[in-house]
Structure 1
Amino acid sequence: MKAEAWMFAACTAFLVLVTPAYWFVTSGSDNRGDWTGTSALVMCTLLVLMITLYLGFHANRMDARPEDRNDADIAEGAGELGFFPPFSWWPLWCALGLSVFTFAAAMKTYWLMIGAAGVGFILLCGWIYEYYRGEFKH
């Protein structure tokens, strides 16, 4: 995890340099600057700093992984890496339902919002319970 902590630390340092530079470049003769972009960069800097601190904190308190050690063999990293789901159509249909709901909210079409929310709930339940029935049941 130390490598990841250093990568996020580099991103944090970059954002710490870019944020005031952005404020300076966007402030014209009126010295007002762009509040939206600057506040977005400040929040991004703080979020990346939070990830850096989390990874750095845990990197010092856990055993080194094989990829963190210079003397490790490739075989030490072998084994089960986790569950990777096979193909699924549910995310596509959930995204379609969410896009219809968002479109209905933008157009203030409340009857379509209610219908899209109902269909979206059914689609989300199908996605959640996908591995409880059928070919990939476990």
Structure 2
Amino acid sequence: MKANIKIFAIIGVFFIIIATIYGFWVRWTEWAGIPAIYALGGMALMISFYLWLTDRKFGVGPADDEDGEIEQYSGTYGNFAPWSWWPLGLGAAAAIVVLGLAIDWWIFFMGAGLGVYFLVGWVYEYSRGQHAH
């Protein structure tokens, strides 16, 4: 995992440097590419930060072991909600938000409201009902 942390950190720093150079090149007049390249750098750094936190929490994994075997990857990878419909609704709400950006703002706000509803439902899914704990 340490190699992945370094790779994503290098990619993130690279894109931030490139976005700054590109910004000076176009005299900060092009407002589609500059934020997009900065966003690429930020997302790569977020992945690197997440992997760093995961590495701190779980320590050395099979990928970091030079003599590791494939069977060391077996086991539980997380806790996933069985038969959850909340992600489907959240995806539909995201589609409505994008549709609203293309058509009209009232559709956007309707999709944003649905998105908040489905996101809260997904977050609190384990707080009530059949899978509560």
TM-score range, shorter chain: 0.5 to 0.7
CA contact (8 A) 2:125 2:132 kept: no
**How far 1:23 sits from its partner (Å)?**
2.0
**Aligned equivalent of 1:79, options 75, 81, 84:** 75
Pair 1:132–1:5, CA change in 2 (3 A) = same
CA contact (8 A) 1:66 1:73 kept: yes
- Equivalent residue of 1:85, what SS? coil
CA contact (8 A) 1:24 1:33 kept: no
- Equivalent residue of 1:10, what SS? helix
Deviation digits for residues 76-104 of structure 1, max 9, x if unmatched? 3322222233443333334446738x95x
Give the structure-2-normalised TM-score. Answer: 0.54
Larger Rg: 1
CA RMSD of aligned residues (A): 4.4
Deviation digits for residues 86-130 of structure 1, max 9, x if unmatched? 443333334446738x95x8238x9xx5xx959x74x66765437
State the alpha-carbon separation in 2 of the partners of residues 13 and 97 from structure 1.
33
Q: Are 1:129 and 2:125 counterparts? A: yes
Query: Any gaps of 5 or more consecutive residues in structure 2?
Result: none
Query: Any gaps of 5 or more consecutive residues in structure 1?
Result: none
Alignment map for 1:1-138 (pairs within 5 Å): 1-25=1-25, 27=26, 31-35=27-31, 37-42=33-38, 44-46=40-42, 48-49=44-45, 51-52=47-48, 55=51, 59=55, 63-96=59-92, 99=96, 103=100, 106-107=105-106, 121=117, 127=122, 128-129=124-125, 132-133=129-130
Pair 1:13–1:32, CA change in 2 (3 A) = closer
- Equivalent residue of 1:107, what SS? helix
Give the structure-1-normalised TM-score. Answer: 0.53
State the alpha-carbon separation in 1 of the partners of residues 17 and 58 from structure 2.
31
CA contact (8 A) 1:5 1:56 kept: yes
